[in-house]
A and B are shown apart, each in its own frame.
Chain A
Amino acid sequence: MARTKAQNAADAAPQNWLARTLQEHARVFFFSLGKLVNHPGSSLLTAAVIGIALALPAALHLAVNNFQRLAYTWQNDLQLSLFLKDGVDETRGRELTQQLASRDGVKSARYISREQSAAEFRELSGFGEVLDLLQHNPLPAVIVVSPDAGRSAAQVTVLAQTLSALPEVELSQMDQQWLQRLQSLLAILERVVMMAAALLGVAVLVIVGNTLRLDIEARRDEIVVMKLIGAPDGFIRRPFLYGGCWLGLLGGWFALLLLTVGLAVLQAPAHELAALYQSDFAIQGPGLATVLTIILGGVLLGLIGAWWTVTRHLAAIEPA
């Protein structure tokens, strides 16, 4: 043969594998980015649709997270009121309060005497004159017990039952049933978020797939030429996969933008509402983990959508 085997080998392996791979990925990185930049209208439109699809479950997730935080705050603010029997004098009441305060699972305990109860009633209820009509103070002394922070609803219930059984206690009161209902509701909502995320994830796959399908059709002639001159499927597929990643990444950023705008719009009214309840609660935005999940989720969905579409359509394009 006219050409030596050594010559052919040198032509067949022009660079080492690593250098070749890095160079090829760098080339495709900029090539696919250039394609995106050269068609800003359609690229942004697709990214916006992906962004909305990603933002919806992310917004629901944030809402659930914030409600959970709120519920946790409310749970920590729960107080158990132990109404003491009439026969328990103030000395015994204060003694019992100290004992309860040092008890395991109790953060603090505060004794409110019958006189203090009456004073508070006068000040807060607006029916202070009614007390004047009575011959004696009907209000009992109360020990207000705050459970340790971080205790579960079940643990707090057990504590309440134990303290209610004390001989000095006439009645105990702690309304946490609504809180348990709220938590159950949030658990359901959490699953709804997961289902919505799965469905909208499929929607992102379809959006990316359809965009790239049109791109493949538009570049059919180019693909045919590449196959004619010996481009392997991986070489032809690569720019489309990068294209899918770029769309996913842009979509992820767009979703974050939507969330940020949404949070900015809701923050002030939420703060005002919280202030009405003497709370300093503020809506918490996406943390680093959520931001990364949205961005990487977008990229991953873009990549999977691209792979799925390109693999299906490339096989159908062969030089005639």
Chain B
Amino acid sequence: MSQAIVQFSQVHHRYPGGGSDVLNSIDFQLDAGEMVFLTGASGAGKSTVLRLIALLSRASRGQIVVAGANLAQLPRRQVAPYRQQIGMIFQNFNLLNDRSVFDNVALPLVIRGHSHQDIGRRVRAALDTVGLLNRERARPETLSGGEQQRVGIARAVVTKPLLLLADEPTGNLDPVMAQEVMRLFERFNDVGVSVLVATHAIDLIERMDRRIVHLEDGRIVSGAKMAAASKLPLGVL
């Protein structure tokens, strides 16, 4: 059995002031080196799963273990070092527009205290991987949506994280760019990074032979590879 990098056990979550649980009895495992897609309609709980893993919220009930750390017991001062192990990619990119592409990608390395030489080497390698080496001095706002997302990806992977989380990473991209972004995730996964992608883009992922976990109203209704999942009744996916 593979070692789990993310393990959800009977996780419930309700936002403060919310009437009902956003997540209901979630049992879910992401193995080390695995790439999984989280699908479901808006409000199904995909983003909440990622938020709980990224410790942007704490689960109301149940246990979440990420890379051996029980998140419910992680003290506040350990949250930042914990997040440094995770690469996060957002639909709205979350780039700093007053800094260059290079500086945006370098930020996680600066936070971790890498040397100037190491930062230069790693940032250029990451930008090369996402095909933006020639734009390192540009400001993010001068780039296209696809390029901005690739900067976000470079920033997420520059520290060689254990786990890559992506929340609707192709939501603001055209189909060609979206496919390119998905291919990048596969490349990182191929070198051992565990990847969890929350997405609506069924047409984009159906060609990829990866496990899909489908959520409906905060419950997992299926968790199978695309080939198996495609046999489910229409509407489940």
> Quick one: closest A residue to B96, CB to CB?
A222
A15 at the B interface (CB under 8 A): yes
A2 at the B interface (CB under 8 A): yes
* Interface stretch of the complex, out of A16-24, A97-105, A142-150: A16-24
- Consensus secondary structure, chain A interface: helix
- Find chain A residues with CB under 8 A from B118 CB: 14
Interface residues on B, range: 35 or more
B184 at the A interface (CB under 8 A): no
Give Cα A1 to B3, complex, Å: 7
- Find chain A residues with CB under 8 A from B193 CB: 2
Give Cα A15 to B234, complex, Å: 54
Residues 71-97 of A contacting B (Cβ, < 8 Å): none
* B160–A231 touching, CB < 8 Å: no
Known: A14-B115, A27-B110, A233-B80. A225 touches B96 (CB 8 A): yes
Give Cα A3 to B157, complex, Å: 14
- Find chain B residues with CB under 8 A from A221 CB: 96
Give Cα A15 to B114, complex, Å: 6
- Find chain A residues with CB under 8 A from B82 CB: 230
Q: Chain B nearest CB: distance from A128 CB in Å?
A: 87
Q: Which residue among A15, A27, A232 has the maximum number of chain B CB atoms within 10 Å of its CB?
A: A232
B9 at the A interface (CB under 8 A): no
B178 at the A interface (CB under 8 A): no
> Quick one: closest A residue to B107, CB to CB?
A229
> Quick one: closest B residue to A24, CB to CB?
B113
B116 at the A interface (CB under 8 A): yes
Partner of A225, one of B86, B94, B114, B116: B94
- Find chain A residues with CB under 8 A from B94 CB: 224-225, 228
- Find chain A residues with CB under 8 A from B113 CB: 14-15, 20, 23-24
- Find chain A residues with CB under 8 A from B83 CB: 227-230
- 16 chain-A/chain-B pairs, Cβ below 8 angstroms: A1-B5, A2-B32, A2-B193, A3-B192, A14-B113, A221-B96, A224-B94, A225-B95, A226-B107, A228-B54, A228-B56, A229-B107, A230-B81, A230-B111, A231-B111, A235-B80
The residues of B with any CB-CB pair to A shorter than 8 Å are 3, 5, 32-33, 54, 56, 77, 80-86, 88, 90, 94-96, 98, 107-116, 118, 155, 159-160, 162, 191-194
A134 at the B interface (CB under 8 A): no
Give Cα A319 to B52, complex, Å: 12
* A229–B155 touching, CB < 8 Å: yes
- Find chain B residues with CB under 8 A from A226 CB: 107, 111
Given A11-B159, A225-B107, 18 new contacts (CB under 8 A): A1-B5, A1-B32, A1-B192, A2-B192, A2-B194, A3-B160, A3-B192, A15-B113, A24-B113, A224-B94, A225-B94, A228-B88, A230-B80, A230-B83, A231-B111, A232-B80, A235-B111, A320-B56
> Quick one: closest B residue to A16, CB to CB?
B113
A162 at the B interface (CB under 8 A): no
Q: Which 7 A-B pairs have the closest CB atoms?
A: A2-B192, A230-B83, A20-B113, A230-B84, A232-B80, A14-B114, A2-B33
Give Cα A24 to B113, complex, Å: 7
Residues 220-274 of A contacting B (Cβ, < 8 Å): 221-222, 224-233, 235
Give Cα A235 to B85, complex, Å: 17
Residues 252-310 of A contacting B (Cβ, < 8 Å): none
- Find chain A residues with CB under 8 A from B3 CB: 1
Give Cα A289 to B77, complex, Å: 41
A177 at the B interface (CB under 8 A): no
A12 at the B interface (CB under 8 A): yes
Give Cα A244 to B98, complex, Å: 21
* A11–B111 touching, CB < 8 Å: no
Partner of A19, one of B84, B90, B115: B115
Q: Which residue among B32, B85, B86, B112 has the maximum number of chain A CB atoms within 10 Å of its CB?
A: B112
Give Cα A231 to B109, complex, Å: 10
